Every structure is written in structure tokens, then in C-alpha cells.
Structure 1
Amino acid sequence: MKIGRTILTERQRIRGWEDTDTDRAFFHRVNSDDAIQRYFPWRWSRAEADENFDQMQARTAENGFGWAVAEDLETGVPIGFVGLGQMRHTQVTGPGVEIGWRYVPEAWGKGLATEAARALLVHGFEDLGLERIVAYAVASNRPSLAVMARIGMRERPDLSFDHPMVPDDMPHLKRHAFWEKFSPVARG
């Protein structure tokens, strides 16, 4: 998400991460909770999460946009890690901008990821002027793949890949499905 921008949806406030204990603690939670991380090979300690938080913030400052936090609009409680980020594994995926979402279990099954992703696509195409936004997920991650389909992304089986950051001893997490969506303006 563009630095300094806040997006309001029907039920969420999507804003940039702030260097506060609340945001850092939430960032740690979404990167260490077994249920949230079931499709990821790592669980970060608080120190590792803080280090990755700092790196994420530096990339956001460098790119002018990046990952964000989704808050419940009524309570202000953080419920998700969402946003648009510059691709980091370009040797496999090629360059581009990816969209992503990761919500806490108490927010699952309510359509919040789809709601945020739709708003982020509009933001990416209209505010950032992107021509193409991509997404990828573990091939068995049906909830994320369903969100990709609901927001109008197109699966590209020819671009599916084995993620280079997933250890070989975790074959169930290795294969990733690749999806994309083009700007309505770019495609006419």
C-alpha cells in the first residue's frame, strides 16, 4: 500500500505499519501462530519478527508502497496482514507486484480477505498505476486460492513454481500456484 494512504472498506481500515509495540506484537503474532502460518515453513520469535519488521519497513520506504495492517473498523483491533509488495523472488516469478493477505483465526470465514483484496486491487491499479498484480500460494491453500478467484484473478498453471525459500524436507509447502490480474485500463 502507498505510504501515507489509508483505505477504508465496509468493515476494515487498512493502513501502513507503524513502529509501535502494538503493531510489532501483531506482526509477531501473524508470523508465529501455528494456525495462521500453516502454509508457511517458518515461525518467527519476537526478535526475528522485529528484525523482519524493520526490513519490511525499509523496503516500503524504498519502494513507496508495501505491506499494511488491516484493523476492524469498529474496534480498531488489528485482524490482518495485507497489502501490495514488490516481488522478492524474481528469479522464479519474474518482476512484479504481489497482493497478499493473512488474517487471524477469529477473522476467518467472514469475507474480510476478499473485501480487503478488492480494495487493494483498486488501489494498486488506480493509485499506484500498476498494470499487473500477481498472487501466489501453496497449491493446497484452498482459502487463499478461493480469494484469488473471487477477486477476478486468473490462474497461470504454466507459471506455478517450487518456492526457493521452502526447505526440501517440507514438500507439502513447496509447490505454489501462480495467479495474475491485469489493470482494466492496461488491457482495455
Structure 2
Amino acid sequence: MVYFETERLRFRDWTREDLPPFRKMNKDPQVMRYFPSTLEDAETDFFFERIQKEFSSSGYGLYAVELKETGEFIGFIGFHEASFPAAFTPCIEIGWRLKASAFGKGYATEGARTCIAYGFQELKFPEIYSFTAKINLPSEGVMQKIGMIKVGEFDHPNVQDGSILKEHVLYQMKNK
């Protein structure tokens, strides 16, 4: 099912054909540089199944994103219910992960902007959060470009103490 589109991107359900390029993307050190580690195939497969379950239970999730022009899978942009222990959770988070060849082309900004509009208009979310490691300036830049407001910083409880990824920035956007 196609949920929505932008000028260049299509947001759709995941298929089994997405699994090989998803595995490859999650093994790429450039793609995963702001995560604790790259993912082995079994970890990506588990993540893939978790995405499927979230769509089944919630009716939304991390949408598979493809280029409209070619049909090429380039990653995901979408929603996830964050539930780790923090003052702002549980919450709806918008997140994205694109393969390295899609970097620097404005896809994350274009897709996240449209995804947020879908979340507010169609899914009726009252607010949406986004967060990332403080050193992840590219993702923080996307948050700023799509109009999210920085509301704080926090130490992510699921990141090892002493890691340069522990400190996170927190952004929010409220439905008007």
C-alpha cells in the first residue's frame, strides 16, 4: 500500500524485496555512524519484523521510502512509539534512515516534512518528537529545517555510559 507521496518520494508498506537492501544499508558504517554499531543480518531481520508488528498494531510506522522515478528503495522515514524511560515518553517519534547514496539530496527533509503533515492531518497526532545523538548534526539540521523546536537535551538510557552517542538533543512539534 502507498500511504502518500512527495514530488520525488513514495511512502509505502515494506516488502520482502526490501530486506536485502535494508540489510546492506544497516551494515554500512557511513549510514550507522551515529548509532552504537552496524547491524548484522539477524538484527536487521528482527528490526524488519518489529516494523511490521508496529504497522499491524498501530496503523502507522517507519514507512519504506522509494524514489518515484526509479522505484529504488532508499530507506525509511516515519513514526515509532518511543517508550524507553524518559520524561517525554511514551511519545510518537519521527525518524529516518537513508542509504548513503541518498545523503545530501534533501530526501530526509522532503520526506520528514510530508510525513509530519500526514501524522497531524491523517493520524491526528497531538505532537511529534524527534531526537538524536548530540553529535549527529545532519539529523538535527533536518529537525530544524522541518520546523521542529528544540525542547531539551537528555542522556539516552539505552546508550552505554561514556559513549559519545549518550547525549541527545530533543525536538518537538505540536499539531496546530
Q: Smaller-chain TM-score range?
A: over 0.9
Considering fraction of residues, name the structure with more strand.
2
The residue number in structure 2 matching 1:161 is: 154
Considering fraction of residues, name the structure with more helix.
1
Q: Is there any run of 5+ residues in structure 2 with no aligned partner, and where?
A: none
Shift of 1:60: 2.1
1:1-188 correspondence to structure 2 within 5 Å: 4-18=1-15, 20=16, 22-157=17-152, 160-170=153-163, 172-184=164-176
TM-score, with normalisation over the residues of structure 2? Answer: 0.94
Instruction: Give the length in aligned residue pairs.
Output: 176
Shift of 1:140: 1.1
- Tell me: CA distance 1:169–1:25, structure 2 relative to 1, closer, same or farther (3 Å): farther
The more displaced of 22-31 and 129-138 is 22-31
Shift of 1:88: 2.8
Native 8 Å contact 1:27 1:81 kept in 2: no
Moved over 4 A (4+): none
TM-score, with normalisation over the residues of structure 1? Answer: 0.88
Q: Alpha carbon RMSD of aligned pairs, Å? A: 1.4
Shift of 1:5: 4.5
1:42-98 deviation per Cα after TM superposition (whole angstroms, max 9, x unaligned): 221112211221122112211111111110110000112211111131445312111
